Amino acid sequence: MSDVKHVTTQGFESEVLRAEQPVLVDFYATWCPPCKMLAPILDKLAEEFAGRVKVVKVNVEEEYPLAVRYGISGVPTLMLFKGGVIVDTMVGLLHPQALKAKLEQVAPAPQPTG
């Protein structure tokens, strides 16, 4: 079961802009081969960062107003939001380790105490 949620234009503000934790938004299209390659990577990262980073997907064809609002000109485009503000934008298929490093920057793992 994937922890990645599909978000619509109507739900974007509550799911992304008002989220308490950082949110990674995958702007994708169903016909895009790199998007399809990215999907299992995002599923794994969503599981690994559960509770620290929320991962959501936005279909740019179904949610065209959001694509226009955020200037999406190529897919996949990943935007990292923190406190409702874009803190990073990545276009294209990223190496999983590079993407993980970016998530670690905005949501570091809790350090063990004691």
pLDDT digits (tens, 9 = 90+) for 80-102: 999 999 999 999 999 999 999 99
Residue 106 has pLDDT above 80, yes or no: yes
Residue 32 annotated in active site: yes
The one catalytic residue in 9, 11, 29, 32 is: 32
Report whether 31 contacts 62 (CB < 8 A).
no
Q: What class has domain 5-103?
A: alpha beta
Q: What is the DSSP string of 64-108?
A: HHHHHHTT--SSSEEEEEETTEEEEEEES---HHHHHHHHHHHSP
What is the β-pairing status of strands 23-28 and 77-82?
Answer: antiparallel
The one catalytic residue in 16, 35, 53, 99 is: 35
Residue 111 annotated in active site: no
Report whether 105 contacts 47 (CB < 8 A).
no
pLDDT digits (tens, 9 = 90+) for 13-25: 999 999 999 999 9
Domain boundaries, the chain: 5-103
Residue 1 has pLDDT above 50, yes or no: no
Tell me if the pTM is above 0.75.
yes
